[in-house]
């Protein structure tokens, strides 16, 4: 019986060998994959040993960490829930982090190089100092107004975005995307609950996780006429130059006739300024087809930032959320000549022209800031945990210079006329000069039009804010409602300044 | 003197020769030394856990190890006087596993407490404290077995009784209502109220194995000699297949009605292997393997086609094939186990520094995965080596012991232990479909611990007989002076190897 006993011993060895081999597979070969798996709720507990820094805007704490009795010693909380969700993002245990929580992670977590001194001192203190604080450029009043007015729009839009900038610095004052989400369930220490909350948001057809202000492009509609006007002024026209308008215009090579929006009266002879004020489609399409041409129009759009796929909004020096590139499309026939029907459509922000709400705000800001487009940013100050040392302070810088000051001044004047006499009246603010441009963009067959407003507010010669409002599929009255919302947001910024 | 000693044949291979060994006392001193070493390791593990989880090492870290040492030392004394020639490595190896199990369970208890309260957590509280008590009871049982069973051949006298008891124990949970017998979808239990439950299958395997060994010693000639040759392999006659088919049916019954592949595999593997050791016919292994895999495959197919009692097994196989297909429901346990093992990687996070509590049932079935996160591949490999050592030492006792019953019993017990480790460790690491087995000596729970300590006591008893110099009687003075109840003879069965 000894021979089979020995063989049984060999079998046992083989079985244990299989176990050993399999453990090597799981714990060595697959270890990294498993360790970093989305399903793995284990994190370096060490990351939660240190109190994560706060995210603050205008004195309000938007994100903070509270001590728990868990193994993960701090729980991230977002007291304002939906209001700032797209701006600050979230830092979950098991999911991917986004936005400020993502690109300022090292500083917030206290592991960045600039906080080396703090960590060095910790070695003698027997306690872990918290991470650094991130101070944002956001105006809480403007942000809350933007969120509230978006939600209470009177055209029944359920999706939309607002973004407001300081034209002189590029600082983001408000950035809202509707619908939003509550980031708190996502940072639950129960990874199962967090994943379930995330999956639910992901499955929502209205895409609440999407930051529409930066990450998605829409046809700009008539707001694109600001770029037509800039190109026309640079081509030698003045605000008073006469254009050919009329009730309809049929571009060459197509049977599709371009008309004006209902209620727009556009005489056969109309000045450039008046054409912008009433938003005359026939005048601008004819101008683009007969005078400007596709190359001029495209170049001007690019001067304003179309086609830029590298822009990030966050910290000026390093990191941020990538902004989707706004596009004009090619506007060319296969033989290299202008595709005139497409050019006509592009001039009024249709065809393949698409822009982000941020791009719209940048255009308005450029006009308000005398032709200089400032690089947009959100992070104002990186503050040490001692609350006194500033490890970084944003120094605004120019991104590009799309038009010279004279053209910018004329454009300002024309856009102010839009708000004072034209389609953007609802954006008016008592005691301030407001300029802007409305837009109604066809969103496709069988769906309601998007409503747009891009504009700026000035006190005397000083530009205070530029804003873009988008109401997705808002339908009738969408652009007027967008103008009203923009007015409310800009008003809140002027009040904010008054108080500050 | 005794028949087996007198008719001991010349061993066929030099390795099996009873080599000149150290005397009983030398072996016992070695055992004591190893035992001290094992308990020092357990104490060190406890200290490491405290350092990690309490940030300090309290004055009580050594208490569980000391209690365990006293317990095992008592057993050592029993062995010293009643089984002086027993294998000196068995007791310390098992004690080490048992001790680490207690330590890990205590670590899980601490993990369940709020961080601030851990320092005050009582030494004997929780699952760890209960496991300590179970260890005490198990060791008392093991000592009792050594006291009562002075010669392992004595067991064969009760073989039929044991066989009957074994079958009753196996079947009881299957026929009891689920409310009493089902825990975590496996009907393996008998619950007395809510606080106490036993797993009769753990004891059944000892009883059944004793019966198998006795039965096969009696039948081995007919089973091994009467055969037909087919494809160069000797196949048994149809009528001799009876008992094999009966056990196969029994194990499939277990699979279906107790919803447990592991126990089923364990019984069947246990029987086939003892059959093989007894008959030296490879054909039994092939028949057994075909029958089992055929049965399991059929159960899998039935699970998908008709469901019912096979559904659970079908799902388990699906989970095994792709654990990440349903990571939050059916695959939750296995994926968390794999992720824990992967997170541990080569060296583990260190005792107390992982998050084993994220794995469900980490106290029982998944204890190996829980430990794997903290001790890593290297630690788990060491644990596997200890198991292998126990199996090898058991088989070695079987090789060296002089009677057939002892050989079969030792071989069967050791292999069963090894197979159980294979089934559960293979299950939690994704090598084979997961089943609800306990991990011998590590898992929380009295039944498993008691049964496995009884198994070890039996191996100690057999190894004592094996190590005893030829001619010396069974354990000393208690031996009967040749009355009718002399335990040496097995009801007329030949007690020695006949053919080699």
For residue B473, what are its two tokens? Answer: 């009687």
Taking the Cβ of residue B54 and every Cβ of chain A, the question of whether any pair is shorter than 8 Å is answered with no
Would you say residue A305 has pLDDT above 80? yes
pLDDT grade for B211, boundaries at 50, 70 and 90? confident
The residues, any chain, with a CB within 8 Å of residue B330's CB and separated by 6 or more, are B315, B318, B319
Give me the residue spans of the domains in chain B. Answer: 24-472+479-495
Residue B28 has pLDDT above 70, yes or no: yes
Contact A5 B398 (CB under 8 A): yes
Q: How far is B402 from chain A (nearest CA, A)?
A: 10
How many residues in chain B? 500
Q: What is the mean pLDDT of residues B262-284?
A: 82
φ and ψ of A400, to 5 deg: -165, 170
Find the mean pLDDT for residues B341-369: 86
CB contact under 8 A, A33 and B342: yes
Minimal CA–CA distance to A323: which of A395, A375, A397, A398? A375
Under the banding of pLDDT at 50, 70 and 90, the label for residue A68 is: confident
Q: Quickly state the pLDDT bin for B227 (edges 50, 70, 90).
A: low
Best to test chain B binding among A27, A29, A193 (most B CBs inside 10 Å): A27
Mean pLDDT estimate for chain A: 91
CA distances from A432 to A25, A464, A495 (A): 69, 10, 11
pLDDT at B489 over 50: no
Say whether residue B224 is in contact with chain A using an 8 A CB cutoff: no
Place of tokens 């902004």: A323
| Residue B490, pLDDT score | 43
Residue A429: pLDDT band with limits 50, 70, 90? very high
DSSP string across B347-376? T-S-TTSS-GGGSTTTTTTTHHHHHHHHHH
Q: Between chains, do B342 and A4 touch, taking CB under 8 Å as contact?
A: no
Q: Do B342 and A1 touch (CB under 8 A)?
A: no
**Rounded Cα gap, residues A367 and A371, in angstroms:** 5
What's the Cα-to-Cα distance from B397 to each of A66, A305, B68, B408, rounded to whole Å? 60, 84, 26, 10
**Is A222 one of the catalytic residues?**
yes
Tokens of A35: 């360790």
**Cβ-contact B137, B453 below 8 angstroms:** no
pLDDT over threshold 60, residue B339: yes
| Span B214-240, average pLDDT | 71
Cβ distance A48 to A72 under 8 Å?
A: yes
Chain A CB contacts of B387 under 8 Å are 16
Which helix (H) or strand (E) is A373 found in, with range?
Answer: strand A373-374
Search chain A and give the residue with CA nearest B377: A27
Confidence of residue B393 (pLDDT cuts 50, 70, 90): very high
What is the reported pLDDT for A318?
A: 78
Q: What is the pLDDT of residue B495?
A: 46
CA angle at A379 for the pair A376 and A381, rounded to the nearest 5°: 135
Distance from CA of A126 to the nearest CA of B (A): 11
Per-residue pLDDT tens digits for B79-89? 999 999 999 99
Q: How far is B12 from chain A (nearest CA, A)?
A: 9
What is the per-residue pLDDT for B290? Answer: 86
For residue B264, name the pLDDT band (cuts at 50, 70, 90).
confident
- Is B421 part of the contact surface with chain A (CB cutoff 8 Å)? yes
Which position among A65, A112, A177, A222 bears the catalytic label? A222
Is residue B467 a contact partner of residue B475, using CB atoms and an 8 Å limit? no
Task: Give the model confidence (pLDDT) of A273-293 as tens digits.
Answer: 999 999 999 999 999 999 999
Residue in the structure block whose two tokens are 């708190």: A184
Which has the closest alpha carbon to A465: A421, A420, A433, A439? A433
User: Is the CB of B338 inside 8 Å of chain A's CB atoms?
Assistant: yes
What's the whole-number mean pLDDT along residues A388-398? Answer: 90
Report the distance separating Cα B477 and Cα A228, nearest Å. Answer: 114
Does the beta-carbon distance from A1 to B278 stay under 8 Å? yes
Q: Which long-range contacts (CB under 8 A, 24 or more apart) does A43-50 make?
A: A43/A72, A43/A93, A43/A94, A45/A71, A45/A72, A45/B353, A45/B355, A47/A109, A48/A72, A48/A73, A48/A74, A49/A73, A49/A128, A50/A74, A50/A109, A50/A110, A50/A128, A50/A129, A50/A130, A50/A131
As a whole number, mean pLDDT of residues A433-460 equals 93
A168 pLDDT higher than 70: yes
Distance in Å, alpha carbon of A33 to nearest chain B alpha carbon: 8
* A310-334 tens-digit pLDDT: 999 999 977 899 999 999 998 998 9
* Cis amide leading into B114 (omega within 30): no
pLDDT winner (highest mean) among A148-162, B22-36, B159-173, B249-263: A148-162
DSSP one-letter code for A422: S
Could you tell me the pLDDT band of residue B255, with boundaries at 50, 70 and 90?
A: low
Which has the higher per-residue pLDDT, B377 or B310?
B377
Say whether pLDDT at B311 is over 50: yes
* A82's tokens: 């939906």
CB A286 within 8 A of CB A350: no
Which residues 271-330 on chain B approach chain A with CB closer than 8 angstroms?
Answer: 273, 276-278, 280, 324, 327-328
Please indicate if any CB of chain A lies within 8 Å of the CB of B365: no
Q: What whole-number distance in Å separates Cα of residue A212 and Cα of residue A159?
A: 9
Name the residue with higher pLDDT: B114 or A250: A250
Using a CB-CB cut-off of 8 Å, the residues of chain A touching B335 are 39
CB-CB neighbors (< 8 A) of B411 in chain A: 1, 4-5, 8
- pLDDT tens digit sequence for B165-175: 888 888 887 77
Residues of B in contact with A44 (CB under 8 A): none
ipTM: 0.87
Say if residue B479's pLDDT is above 70.
no
Determine whether the interchain pair A4/B277 forms a contact, defined as Cβ–Cβ distance below 8 Å. yes
Q: Are A120 and A370 in contact (CB under 8 A)?
A: no
**Contact residues on chain A for B426, CB-CB shorter than 8 A:** 18-19, 22
Share of residues in chain A with pLDDT > 70 (%)? 97
Q: Which residue has the higher pLDDT, A94 or A452?
A: A452
Mean pLDDT of chain B: 81
Residues A13, B388: C-beta atoms closer than 8 Å? yes
pTM exceeding the 0.90 threshold for the entire prediction: no
């Amino acid at each position: 019986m000894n021979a089979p006993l020995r063989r049984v011993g060999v079998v046992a060895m083989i079985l244990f060998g299989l176990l050993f081999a399999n453990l090597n597979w799981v714990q060595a070969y697959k270890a990294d994959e498993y360790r970093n798996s989305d399903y793995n709720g284990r994190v370096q507990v060490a990351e939660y040993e240190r109190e994560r820094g706060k995210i603050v805007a205008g004195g309000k704490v938007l994100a903070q960490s509270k001590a728990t009795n868990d193994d993960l010693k701090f729980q991230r909380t977002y007291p304002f829930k939906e209001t700032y969700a797209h701006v600050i993002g979230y830092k979950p245990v098991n999911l991917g982090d986004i936005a400020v929580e993502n690109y300022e992670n090292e500083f917030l977590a206290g592991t960045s190089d600039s906080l080396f001194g703090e960590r060095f001192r910790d070695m003698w203190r027997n306690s872990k100092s918290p991470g650094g604080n991130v101070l944002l450029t956001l105006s809480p009043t403007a942000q809350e107004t933007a969120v509230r007015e978006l939600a209470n729009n009177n055209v029944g839009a359920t999706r939309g975005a607002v973004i407001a900038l300081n034209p002189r610095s590029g600082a983001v004052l408000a950035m809202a995307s509707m619908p939003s989400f509550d980031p708190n369930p996502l940072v639950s220490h129960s990874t199962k609950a967090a994943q379930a909350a995330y999956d639910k948001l992901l499955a929502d057809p209205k895409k609440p996780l999407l930051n529409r202000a930066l990450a998605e492009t829409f046809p700009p509609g008539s707001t694109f006429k600001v770029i037509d006007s800039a190109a026309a002024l640079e081509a030698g026209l003045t605000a008073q130059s006469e254009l050919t308008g009329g009730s309809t215009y049929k571009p060459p090579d197509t049977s599709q006739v371009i008309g004006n929006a209902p209620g727009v009266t556009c005489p056969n002879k109309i000045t450039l300024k008046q054409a912008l004020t009433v938003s005359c489609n026939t005048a601008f399409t004819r101008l683009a087809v007969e005078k400007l041409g596709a190359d001029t129009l495209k170049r001007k759009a690019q001067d304003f930032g179309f086609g830029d796929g590298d822009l990030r909004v966050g910290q000026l020096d390093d990191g941020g959320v990538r902004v989707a590139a706004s596009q004009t499309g090619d506007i060319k026939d296969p033989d290299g000549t202008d595709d005139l029907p497409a050019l006509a459509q592009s001039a009024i922000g249709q065809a393949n022209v698409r822009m982000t709400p941020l791009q719209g705000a940048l255009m308005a800001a450029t006009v308000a800031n005398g032709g200089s487009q400032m690089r947009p940013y959100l992070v104002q100050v990186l503050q040490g945990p001692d609350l006194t040392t500033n490890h970084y302070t944003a120094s605004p810088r120019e991104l590009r210079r799309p038009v010279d000051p004279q053209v910018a001044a004329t454009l300002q004047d024309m856009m102010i006329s839009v708000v004072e006499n034209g389609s953007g009246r609802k954006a008016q603010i008592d005691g301030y000069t407001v300029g802007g441009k409305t837009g109604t963009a066809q969103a496709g067959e069988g769906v309601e039009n998007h409503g747009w407003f891009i504009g700026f507010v000035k006190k005397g010669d000083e530009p205070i804010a530029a804003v873009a409002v988008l109401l997705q599929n808002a339908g009738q009255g969408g652009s007027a409602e967008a103008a009203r919302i923009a007015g409310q947001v800009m008003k809140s910024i002027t009040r904010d300044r008054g108080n500050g | 003197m005794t028949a087996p000693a007198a008719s001991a044949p010349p061993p066929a291979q030099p390795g099996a020769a009873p080599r000149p060994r150290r005397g009983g006392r030398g072996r016992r001193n070695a055992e004591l030394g190893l035992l001290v070493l094992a308990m020092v390791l357990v104490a060190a593990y406890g200290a490491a856990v405290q350092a990690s989880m309490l940030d300090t090492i309290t004055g009580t870290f050594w208490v569980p190890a000391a209690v365990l040492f006293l317990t095992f030392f008592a057993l050592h004394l029993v062995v010293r006087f009643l089984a002086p020639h027993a294998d000196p490595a068995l007791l310390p190896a098992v004690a080490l596993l048992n001790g680490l199990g207690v330590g890990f369970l205590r670590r899980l208890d601490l993990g369940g407490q709020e961080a601030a309260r851990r320092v005050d957590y009582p030494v004997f509280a929780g699952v760890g404290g209960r496991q300590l008590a179970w260890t005490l009871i198990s060791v008392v049982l093991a000592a009792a077995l050594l006291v009562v069973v002075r010669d392992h051949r004595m067991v064969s006298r009760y073989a039929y009784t044991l066989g009957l008891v074994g079958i009753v124990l196996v079947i009881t949970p299957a026929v009891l209502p689920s409310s009493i017998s089902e825990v975590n979808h496996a009907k393996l239990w008998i619950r007395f109220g809510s606080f106490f439950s036993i797993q009769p299958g753990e004891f059944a395997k000892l009883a059944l194995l004793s019966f198998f060994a006795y039965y096969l010693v009696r039948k081995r000639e007919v089973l091994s000699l009467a055969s037909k040759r087919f494809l160069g392999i000797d196949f048994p006659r149809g009528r001799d297949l009876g008992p094999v088919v009966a056990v196969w049916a029994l194990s499939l019954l277990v699979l279906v009605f107790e919803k447990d592949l592991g126990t089923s595999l364990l019984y069947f593997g246990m029987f086939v292997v003892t059959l093989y050791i007894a008959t030296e016919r490879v054909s039994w292994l092939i028949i057994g393997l075909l029958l089992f895999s055929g049965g399991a495959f059929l159960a899998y197919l039935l699970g998908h086609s008709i469901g019912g009692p096979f559904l659970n097994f079908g799902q388990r196989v699906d989970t095994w094939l792709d654990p990440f297909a349903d990571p939050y429901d059916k695959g939750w346990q296995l994926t968390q186990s794999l992720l824990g093992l992967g997170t541990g990687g080569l060296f583990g996070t260190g005792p107390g520094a992982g998050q084993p509590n994220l794995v469900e049932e980490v106290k029982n079935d998944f204890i190996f995965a829980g430990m794997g996160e903290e001790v890593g591949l290297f630690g788990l490999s060491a644990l596997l080596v200890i198991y292998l050592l126990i199996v090898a030492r058991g088989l070695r006792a079987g090789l060296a012991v002089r009677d057939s019953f002892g050989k079969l019993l030792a071989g069967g017990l050791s292999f069963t232990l090894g197979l159980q480790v294979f089934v559960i460790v293979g299950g939690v690491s994704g090598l084979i479909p997961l089943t609800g087995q306990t991990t011998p000596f590590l898992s929380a729970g009295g039944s498993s611990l008691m049964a496995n300590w009884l198994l070890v006591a039996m191996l100690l008893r057999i190894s004592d007989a094996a190590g005893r110099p030829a001619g010396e009687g069974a354990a000393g003075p208690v031996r009967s002076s040749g009355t009718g109840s002399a335990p040496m003879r097995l009801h007329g069965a030949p007690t020695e190897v006949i053919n080699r």
